[in-house]
């Protein structure tokens, strides 16, 4: 579940919000644009979370997807041959 909270309405202490976000994502907005997110991390791999918000990594993924559509994929066997494994 996602809850949207205006920055001007975020008056509780951080610890109060942390106690309430057991299974929800809280998106904090300013001028109707998202500026921050509070979310539980109990079952999340933090490295995956970090990569999913990294603009450089996301651009690499997007380039790979575009290349896949225009040139096709490279199989794992082809990669092994390229690197002599």
pLDDT at 85: 67
Shared domain for 37 and 68, answered yes or no, is no
pLDDT at 31: 95
Shared domain for 51 and 79, answered yes or no, is yes
Q: Dump the DSSP string for 21-66.
A: -SS-EEEEEETTEEEEEE---TT--HHHHHHHT-HHHHHHHHHHHH
Is residue 28 within 8 A of residue 34, CB to CB? The reply is: yes
Q: What predicted TM-score, i.e. pTM, was given to this entire model?
A: 0.56
DSSP 8-class letter at 7 = G
What domain count does the chain have?
2
Here the CATH number for the domain that contains residue 24 is 3.40.1620.10
Domain with 2 in it: 1-42
Percent of the chain residues topping a pLDDT of 90: 18
Give the tens place of pLDDT for each residue, 66-81. Answer: 988 888 887 888 888 8
Give the tens place of pLDDT for each residue, 31-48. Answer: 999 999 888 888 788 888
pLDDT at 69: 87
* Both structure tokens of 53: 């918000």
**Residues whose CB is less than 8 angstroms from the CB of residue 38 and which lie 6 or more positions away in sequence, other chains included:** 17, 18, 21, 25, 26, 28
């Amino acid at each position: 579940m996602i809850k949207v909270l205006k920055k001007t309405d975020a008056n509780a202490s951080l610890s109060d919000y942390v106690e309430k976000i057991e299974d929800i994502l809280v998106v904090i907005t300013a001028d109707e644009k998202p500026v921050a997110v509070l979310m539980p991390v109990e079952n999340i791999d933090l490295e995956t979370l970090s990569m999913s918000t990294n603009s450089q990594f996301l651009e690499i993924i997007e380039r790979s997807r575009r290349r896949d559509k225009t040139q096709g994929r490279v199989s794992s066997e082809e990669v092994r041959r390229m690197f002599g494994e």
